[in-house]
Structure 1
């Protein structure tokens, strides 16, 4: 009798495991938000890149460390079970709303608007450019797999965005490259500029390959009177468990005759910041990653003190901390990034600006002040 019960329990367990495996395979291969896969033929094209070896893209130094299965489980357990005091604002962040007609008609000096986290609308030389547009509510392949963003509203809804001359992406992680956002903007976008390989996701979502330009580190393209440069970052990529480092990650230089911007993407602190500063600096404004860090992953995200130093390295006249005030993707207090980076910046004599979500930023402005809007939230 006992053996019969044990056999039934074991059989049910095996069936459950089998169903889970089948569900995972179906999700991994057919769920659209996961994006595309780099083909064998495409990998052969990327072999000319100094960053590509052993079938994948690599950082200049050997990071991030490949975790064992046990280490991965331990990291996941700590992330999902650790209670973070003040991990989110007390209430949804209010945003400043934009007038869509005014935005569409704007043709004056270079201006930016922050949409939270690492997303921006940049208006430069009569062009409308989106940086890492992620307007979705959850940075995950499915809403059940992540926490909602801190701001439920956007400064401008997707359908009210102006025609977009270019979209620039830094890498393919879900908090930067979002399936629903691409579906919402693709009829408005003229062209996409991305690091090597990232185009496979856009193509999987219906974007024509002739509207996509893939660049390696240090490669440049012209957008009218604007120069776009894909520059290094120290990070990683992947949207599935089995396609890590199949696409390149990067930072970007956006430069006109009179003004220049640096967009760090996601990156650990490394020598590339000084190299970029020496080659393309000084910058009127550097948008510097500052959030979602932890001592468990120090090589792929900067601590706030490193963010301030990196701003000095790239020779920025002022820096704006980004990659915070959007999502809870780490175990720190949500206000910790801005508090710590400003403290270090004072020590290094680096100017920091911290506008509200939706607040207009005049790139060349050296006198503008911003309130401590996060203080009581």
Structure 2
């Protein structure tokens, strides 16, 4: 049974230099009309795929908090009307510090949002400006304080490392500032240079100076060791939580479960088929009006691909992949299907087996992408 939904708000007040997500400047955009199209997609989706019981909802972007108070309230009411139920355990909204006012926090709280994912990235105002962020350190403190005062204590902070001009001292300061805010979840990941971004264009011109790979690796090692000492468990490659505050929604992805994807550019996985929505706003809205659904791509996932995804998504988690779960889903043991790559990776010291479970070793975690590649394209008997 499907238990999760992702909803995409593509609007932004400012486009960050590293971001390749589906986004658009909010100025003079048909925001209200877009939100109505999202409600239509929600209704049509739940009517078509009715074997669901929502446990987690995640609103991402773009910048959901770029919506006005009234728009945010209308949107969240629609989400609750169509998707909300008594089984909902986690309702997360991404928030940018400079746009998350006390009034918007009150709207979030009154509509049942019980978790915020705050895009902080760094605690140095000069570095934030360099990566295209428009908030400052004080905005972060204010947002976290206001959310706690409103009764939202389940918060996650995003931090980035490997940023242009970022030193080890700067990253240490960011990690320690995040810990001082006393939030129960931290997501941290290295900068990836993606096409169609400001940083990509600068890199192509040789104008983007990044930290050396060794320094980036040292930042990640510092992150892991420091958070562990402070009681945060690394439950996924880039995610750390006080026990009990792991992201229930993201675990749906890493457990290779199905989910709804609502909004422009959103992806969904239902009844064994992955679907991609139109990204451009006008195209998305037109398809909703004409067909009721905004799909521009549908892919029935074959068994071999499902098993690949089970491996490279599941191995992201600290607890790894259970062979019992694998066998229950696919009728085969992963130790038979992937015998050769598993043996090879265990010999390298990147994977380890504990009873029926396979997981990354400490040495394998930084090499995750190389490990995952070993499970793609394996010829099945």
TM-score above 0.5: no
Higher-RCO chain (CA-CA 8 Å, sequence separation at least 6): 1
TM-score calculated relative to the size of structure 1: 0.32
TM-score calculated relative to the size of structure 2: 0.31
